[in-house]
Amino acid sequence: MTVVLQQGINGIVLGSLYVLVALGLTLVYGVLVQINFAHADIVTLGAFSAYFFMHGLGGGYIPSIAVALLVGGILGWLMNAAIFAPLREKGSELLPLIATIGVSVMMENAMLAWFGPIPYAFDSPYSNHVMRLGGTFITLQNALIIAVSAATIALLYAFMKFTFLGKALRAVAQDRETAGLMGINPNQLVMLTFVIASALAGMAGAMLGPVLVLTPFAGTSVIVKAFAIVIIGGFGNVEGTILAGLVVGLIESYTTQYLGPGMIDIVVFVLLLLMLAVRPTGLIAERREENV
């Protein structure tokens, strides 16, 4: 029974991490109907920003999360302003998509050149604090991951539902042209989407850093799962993404326990194929225009 409970805790931690990464992906897809392949590299850069803030500048771990959030946001703004927005203006949907692949490869290699290939030991002060209760355990870092993930979800939900900008963002997601006629500047809101999504990715990097193996390829190792979660949750559906993230995290933990870790990808991707075949709208079915 303890093992079952422990694997449940492990699954929620893992799911929370996946949700942090997948939220940004789903936001961009919800508003732009565009997949951002560079998202993984923003996660990685966020992790490195937090690492160097702590180990280079002597900062604390909690402030380093804010630094990673800021770095991610600035990077999102830069990428959209310099690359994606000009390409979108050319009217092609394919060009920005391909550009995200180009940006991803460029960033990965730039990070390889700057940071080198050798894994970094990114331990937060909370990584080695283990709390034990009734035969179960959780590190303080993992508890922090759950807390930050929950707070991020709550703040994002509040932003989308109750603020003018959030409502405007949803309006752009539903119908960009009509939103424009209502006095909303769609380009500014697309920019805002990129900034929020990238800031979330940066922050996810800071949270993942102590859990992941920190190399220039760190983000790439979770992004495939994040894409799967976005699909299982329903393309661009925030609530679906949150649910799918937690489901995938729990599936991974229990698969490891009862079938072996070698079966994880098989189980997750069979689920993905089943969702595509049986329920292509995702776990929480909604009209696409209401997703974000």
Number of residues binding to another protein, judged by CB under 8 A: 40
Contacts to another protein from residues 55-114, by CB under 8 A: 112
Query: Which three-class secondary structure state does DSSP give residue 284?
Result: coil
Among 160, 252, 275, 291, binds another protein (CB under 8 A): 252
Query: Which three-class secondary structure state does DSSP give residue 163?
Result: coil
User: Which contacts qualify for 161-170: CB closer than 8 Å, 24 or more apart?
Assistant: 165/189, 165/192, 169/31, 169/193, 169/292, 170/290, 170/292
What residue type is 280 in one-letter code? P
Is 10 a binding residue for another protein by CB under 8 A? The answer is yes
Is 117 a binding residue for another protein by CB under 8 A? The answer is yes
Q: How many helices and strands, by DSSP H and E, does the chain display?
A: 12, 2
CA distances 275 to 42, 149, 225, 250, 282, Å, are: 28, 25, 15, 17, 7
Among 38, 211, 226, 243, binds another protein (CB under 8 A): 211
**Minimum distance from residue 17 beta carbon to another protein (Å):** 8
**Minimum distance from residue 197 beta carbon to another protein (Å):** 21
Among 212, 228, 230, 247, binds another protein (CB under 8 A): 212
CA distances 68 to 30, 100, 222, Å, are: 24, 20, 18
Tokens read off for 141: 């870092």
Is 137 a binding residue for another protein by CB under 8 A? The answer is yes
Is 174 a binding residue for another protein by CB under 8 A? The answer is no
Is 200 a binding residue for another protein by CB under 8 A? The answer is no
Contacts to another protein from residues 11-50, by CB under 8 A: 11, 13-14, 17
CA distances 199 to 135, 265, 292, Å, are: 37, 28, 17
- Shorter beta-carbon distance to another protein: residue 120 or 194: 120
Chain residues in the site for another protein (CB under 8 A): 2-3, 6-7, 10-11, 13-14, 17, 112, 116-119, 121, 123, 127-128, 130, 132, 137, 139, 142, 211-213, 215, 217, 221-222, 224, 252-253, 256-257, 260-262, 264-265
